[in-house]
Amino acid sequence: MAACTVYSTQCFNTISSTPSSKTHLAFHQRQVVFYTTTTSNKRNNSKRSGGSVITCAAGDTVVIGLAADSGCGKSTFMRRLTSVFGGAAEPPKGGNPDSNTLISDTTTVICLDDYHSLDRTGRKEKGVTALDPRANDFDLMYEQVKALKDGIAVEKPIYNHVTGLLDPPELIKPPKILVIEGLHPMFDARVRDLLDFSIYLDISNEVKFAWKIQRDMAERGHSLESIKASIEARKPDFDAYIDPQKQYADAVIEVLPTQLIPDDNEGKILRVRLIQKEGVKHFSPVYLFDDGSTISWIPCGRKLTCSYPGIKFFYGPDSYFGNEVSVVEMDGQFDRLDELIYVESHLSNLSSKFYGEVTQQMLKHADFPGSNNGTGLFQTIVGLKIRELYEQIVASKTEAPVGAAKA
Ligand SMILES: Nc1ncnc2c1ncn2[C@@H]1O[C@H](COP(=O)(O)OP(=O)(O)OP(=O)(O)O)[C@@H](O)[C@H]1O
Ligand SMILES: O=C(CO)[C@H](O)[C@H](O)COP(=O)(O)O
């Protein structure tokens, strides 16, 4: 956690709440700022108050945005990211058992579903989906992400996925790294500007469908028809509000059906592309063999065991929404994960701390979905990149006063 003392939240509760109001108070001889934002929730007749108490001088929180549709691997990615920093991520201790937040020593992951301004029944009554901006409170999202970035604890609302209601808020203290994950981290320009790094998980419709069926049929007992209907119902809003955010992402992990099997419709073998924006501060793209070149590589042979249809890598420069990017692509899947070290040794700029760290991370989480293909590989690499970005930002802040003195 960033150095921070949080005074009793009752202090916050004693302040009358007016929408988006700021009140400055003297408190214990320190300047304390209360942010209070209220959203009426007629359905459960409760007031959602986002309030916070400034007692931190830090303001060192690095903010990462992770955008994707529901069921597209955000939680899996978060587990890989948290593992890179060591330590397990858990919901806030003693809090709401249905909290969506995950806290570890270094990272706090908040789910942006908590900023739904309409609960499940409210959305149904108004005929809007959760993807629609009208069902979300972007003012509160902005105020609270900004507060956390500035080292201020907040009382964040909770959207309860079990009941479909808006629950009373939970206290979130400013972490070293704040990850905001969900449907809209890059939708609102004010929130977007707070991000130090952004990622979009771009899962093609065919693959999304296959994953949804696997999870919602096998694990949640939904019927094939209801899964199809739910995907279709969300699609217009997904296209209008979620998908366009990928143009702003610093890294996109694009997941497509394989090209190694003609007309494959099983969706089990994946072609995964890591699209990395050039010129992003503290982020230096990964490359294969030679920086800036264009390479197609089939690593199968003496050092890598491959069964049908094999594995194919590609690396090269490209343009993405008018931005210069470099792309590393992997089509196919690993037979033996320990042999990944052979591929790792041909990738550069991995931001690893020792030779073989990527392979070690992948082996450690061999049971996570996607560990035998490019989804797991690129999620792990992006995790290492975020660690390096964080370390560089912290180092640059520590060095800044020295530079300033020289000037
Ligand atoms: N890389 C992958 N390869 C194969 N299947 C995957 C992969 N990632 C996720 N899945 C499938 O998708 C499901 C959802 O993954 P996950 O819970 O990580 O997504 P999510 O975006 O956090 O979902 P939600 O927002 O609905 O909670 C998993 O249970 C798994 O079936
Ligand atoms: O797109 C989603 C992000 O997770 C959910 O569908 C949205 O949050 C609404 O949740 P629920 O279906 O539990 O009411």
Of 90-94, 133-137, 184-188, 320-324, where does mean pLDDT reach its minimum?
A: 90-94
Is the CB of 70 inside a 6 Å radius of any atom of ligand 2? yes
Q: How confident is the model at residue 87 (pLDDT cuts 50, 70, 90)?
A: confident
The per-residue pLDDT for 88 is 82
The pLDDT score that the predictor gives to residue 190 is: 98
Residue 109, pLDDT above cutoff 50? yes
Ligand nearest to the CA of 367: 1
Q: Higher confidence at residue 406 or residue 241?
A: 241
Least confident residue range of 125-134, 278-287, 298-307: 298-307
pLDDT at 324 over 70: yes
Say which ligand is closest to the CA of 212. Answer: 1
Is the CB of 130 inside a 6 Å radius of any atom of ligand 2? yes
Antiparallel, parallel or unpaired: β 177-182 and 107-111: parallel
CB atoms within 10 A of CB 93: 6
pLDDT number for residue 58:
57
Q: Whose CA is nearest to atom 6 of ligand 2?
A: 130
The answer to whether residue 258 scores a pLDDT higher than 60 is yes
Distance in Å, CA 41 to ligand 2 centroid: 17
- Say if residues 315 and 358 touch (Cβ distance below 8 Å): no
Instruction: Say yes or no to pLDDT of 138 above 90.
Output: yes
Give the pLDDT of residue 216: 83
Compute the distance between CA of residue 39 and CA of residue 280 in angstroms, rounded to an integer.
36
pLDDT at 287 over 60: yes
ipTM of the complex: 0.96
Distance separating alpha carbons of residues 230 and 271, to the nearest angstrom: 25
Confirm if 202 and 273 have CB atoms less than 8 A apart.
no
Q: Is the CB of 113 inside a 6 Å radius of any atom of ligand 2?
A: yes
Averaged pLDDT for residues 265-282: 93
Going by CA atoms, what residue is nearest to atom 11 of ligand 1?
A: 211
Q: Who wins on pLDDT, 7 or 348?
A: 348
Return mean pLDDT, the chain.
Answer: 85
Tell me how far the alpha carbon of residue 179 lies from the centroid of ligand 2, in angstroms: 18
Percent of the chain predicted with pLDDT > 90: 72
Ligand 1 neighbour 68 (Cβ under 6 A): yes
pLDDT digits (tens, 9 = 90+) for 221-234: 888 899 889 889 99
Q: How far is CA 112 from CA 65, 91, 276, in A?
A: 10, 15, 24
Q: How far apart are CA 105 and CA 88, in angstroms?
A: 8
Give the Cα separation of 192 and 27 in Å (integer).
32
Is residue 75 within 6 Å of ligand 2 at its C-beta?
A: no
Residue 321 has pLDDT above 90, yes or no: yes
Query: What local confidence, expressed as pLDDT, does residue 30 receive?
Result: 26
CA distance 32 to 56: 10
> For the whole model, what pTM was predicted?
0.87
Take atom 15 of ligand 1 and give the residue whose Cα is closest.
73
Residue 112 CA to ligand 2 centre (angstroms): 10
9 ligand 1 Cβ < 6 A:
no
Instruction: Write b or e for each residue in 143-167: b if 16 or more Cβ atoms lie within 10 A of its Cβ, otherwise e.
Output: bbbbbbbbbbbbbbbbbbeeeebbb
Q: Is 230 in the pocket of ligand 1 (CB under 6 A)?
A: no
- Mutation test residue for ligand 1: of 75, 109, 184, 273, the one with most atoms within 8 Å of CB: 75
Look at strands 30-41 and 311-320 and give their pairing.
unpaired
380 lines ligand 1 (CB under 6 A): no
51 CB less than 6 Å from ligand 1? Answer: no
Identify the band that residue 402 occupies on the pLDDT scale cut at 50, 70 and 90: low
Q: Inform me whether the pLDDT recorded for 14 exceeds 80.
A: no
pLDDT of residue 47: 35
Which residue is closest in CA terms to ligand 1's atom 1?
Answer: 370
C-alpha 42 – ligand 1 centre gap (Å): 33
Distance 71 CA to ligand 1 centre (A): 5
Q: Which residue has its alpha carbon closest to ligand 2 atom 8? A: 113
Could you report how far apart the first and last alpha carbons of the chain are, in Å? Answer: 32
> What confidence score (pLDDT) does residue 399 get?
79
Nearest Cα residue to atom 13 of ligand 2: 161
Which DSSP symbol is given to 162?
Answer: T
CA 194–ligand 2 middle distance (angstroms):
24
Q: Whose CA is nearest to atom 28 of ligand 1?
A: 215
The residue whose C-alpha atom lies closest to atom 3 belonging to ligand 1 is: 370
> Relative to the alpha carbon of 159, which ligand is closest?
2
3-state secondary structure of 268: coil
User: Are 191 and 178 in contact, with CB atoms under 8 Å apart?
Assistant: no
- Provide the pLDDT for residue 213: 84
pLDDT for 19 equals: 32
